[in-house]
Amino acid sequence: MDDPSGPLDPGGHLAATASDCVHCGFCLPACPTYQLWGEEMDSPRGRIHLMSQVLNGTPVTEQVTLHLDRCLGCMACVTACPSGVRYDELIEAARGWPERAGAGAGQGREEQPGTGRPLRERAVRAAIFATFPYPKRLRALTGPLRAAQRARLDRLVLGGPAARYAPELAGSLRLAPQPGARQPRLPARIPARGQRRAVVGMLTGCVQQVFFAEVNAATARVLATEGCDVIVPPGQGCCGALSLHSGRAAEAARFAERAIAEFERAGVDAIVVNSAGCGSAMKEFGGFFARAATTSPGPGADALAEQAAAFSGRVRDFSEFLAELYDRDGGPRAERHELPVNAAYHDACHLAHAQRIRRQPRDLLRGIPRLNLTEVGDGGTCCGSAGVYNLMQPQAAAELGERKAAALRATGARLVVSANPGCSLQIAAALAAGGGEPVAVAHLAEVLDTSFRGLPLTALGVGTG
Ligand code: SF4
Ligand code: SF4
């Protein structure tokens, strides 16, 4: 899979997908980068045009790479497109082109080395992908990051020339969460409270378990309180979402195979995911391995594709799982204690666009007494987080973050609820950078957990700033 010297589009699937675009432009207003710069080549239609050109033999130049790399992968264009163009499949494949030998070698052309991404950027990406999917390495890195925060070196870096020459470093310091209480590792099994309604596997994630262990703990408590045995397979590792969404197909396949095997062994009814980006990737595994079996058939490829399809069919977002559980098994069980607060729910792109889940998180929030839910008036535009986007494209990400923070402040909410940790980091940083009254940011699981346990709003950071 993903032979770096192989043809870009074996079987012609990508060319056929790109040709579904009828150039109507309905997707343009939905695209955050088109909103920022108004450039055709920074719109979905423009990028599809570039991809078609590459598939026809145009080299993947630095200019082509620039426009592809500026795409957030937010999938707002997929939702907006009346022709059902699978831009998600196109951009996932195209992200890997700039570093492939042979990129630009279309029909009948000679292979050329992939020269689209400058060496410095390649090195930064390599460092990110050698660290983020590996919790032990990431943990080792958080020490120096937090020491830098404590020593106020972050301000020095953010305000100084380093921000110009090493924007990714400045970005990581800007976004790195403040030290919090260290959470104990989740046990391999958390028993259901009361009569058991389901046995679920829980993804603890890579970045998630290092920076958001408290979100995982809250997720497990909520599921157990609602009558689920929660299984946390200890060998699960990274699910492969970061790699898959960044065009690193071979690496994604390795992570995915391991996750599939671990959860299969666990024998669970569903696999619950509390990170929108991971959930959307895991739901894609079926299609991903099916395409791989077609383009690079080999021993076991069909069996793996079947296994992956069964796995994807069992993956549920946290809110989606609870809504299904309530529908089929008598509704909520846990008592909801009041949380008197104006809250705004932020639609994570990989939940709203990629998984089409909008209603379930809102319903869960509306079920909490005295929580007043308000809508954000920006049409759900991406906050700029988008996996590693806010590290690789810090300026665009910061502009989108500023816009999101302004839209959130306009709601008057004192609590922003998100279902994706990356969004929470980005939004918290943008709200803090803009100054003004403190606004707390929390994961949906933490809000439910706080309500179930009858804790005060200060447990969510509301009124503590
Ligand atoms: S995925 Fe998002 S940023 Fe990329 S082209 Fe589509 S709408 Fe624009
Ligand atoms: S991607 Fe869809 S909405 Fe956008 S120009 Fe093509 S057909 Fe039209």
Per-residue model confidence (pLDDT) at position 255: 94
Q: Report yes or no on 181 lying in a domain.
A: no
Residue with the smallest CA separation from ligand 1 atom 8 is 31
Task: Order across the sheet with 415-418: list the strands.
Answer: 371-374, 341-345, 415-418, 440-443
Whether residues 252 and 358 fall in one domain: no
Which residues of the chain have a pLDDT value below 50? 2-5, 104-113, 157, 161-162, 165, 179
Whether residues 149 and 270 fall in one domain: no
Per-residue model confidence (pLDDT) at position 10: 83
Per-residue model confidence (pLDDT) at position 210: 80
Last residue of a domain, one of 77, 97, 117: 117
Q: Give distance in angstroms: CA of 81 to centre of ligand 2.
A: 5
Q: Give distance in angstroms: CA of 253 to centre of ligand 2.
A: 29
Characterize the bridge pairing of strands 198-202 and 228-231: parallel
The rounded distance, in Å, linking the Cα atoms of 359 and 187 is 31
Per-residue model confidence (pLDDT) at position 342: 97
Residues whose CB falls within 8 Å of the CB of residue 271, separated by 6 or more in sequence, listed in order:
200, 201, 202, 203, 263, 282, 311, 314, 315, 316
Q: Are 115 and 92 in contact (CB under 8 A)?
A: no
Ligand 2 pocket residue status of 81, Cβ below 6 Å? yes
Ligand nearest to the CA of 33: 1
The rounded distance, in Å, linking the Cα atoms of 318 and 360 is 9
Per-residue model confidence (pLDDT) at position 299: 82
Residue with the smallest CA separation from ligand 2 atom 2 is 81
Residues whose CB falls within 8 Å of the CB of residue 50, separated by 6 or more in sequence, listed in order:
41, 64, 67, 68
Ligand 2 pocket residue status of 44, Cβ below 6 Å? yes
Q: Are 414 and 341 in contact (CB under 8 A)?
A: yes
Q: Where are the alpha helices (DSSP H) in 102-235?
A: 119-131, 135-150, 153-159, 162-165, 167-175, 207-211, 213-225
Ligand 2 pocket residue status of 50, Cβ below 6 Å? no
Ligand nearest to the CA of 80: 2
Per-residue model confidence (pLDDT) at position 106: 42
Q: Are 41 and 71 in contact (CB under 8 A)?
A: no
Domain count within the chain: 4
Q: Report yes or no on 61 lying in a domain.
A: yes
Per-residue model confidence (pLDDT) at position 211: 83
Per-residue model confidence (pLDDT) at position 189: 96
As to burial, measured by CB atoms within 10 angstroms (0-12 exposed, 13-18 middle, 19+ buried), residue 418 is buried
Q: Give distance in angstroms: CA of 87 to centre of ligand 1.
A: 8
The boundaries of the domain holding residue 263 are 189-328
Ligand 1 is surrounded, with C-beta below 6 A, by 30-33, 44, 47, 71-77, 87
Per-residue model confidence (pLDDT) at position 155: 56
Q: Where are the alpha helices (DSSP H) in 229-356?
A: 241-244, 249-266, 276-295, 301-314, 318-328, 349-352
Q: Report yes or no on 278 lying in a domain.
A: yes
pLDDT, tens only, 290-299: 988 888 778 8
pLDDT, tens only, 131-177: 878 877 877 777 666 666 666 555 554 555 445 545 555 555 555 66
Whether residues 299 and 384 fall in one domain: no
Whether residues 141 and 91 fall in one domain: no
Whether residues 385 and 419 fall in one domain: yes
Q: Report yes or no on 182 lying in a domain.
A: no
Whether residues 195 and 90 fall in one domain: no
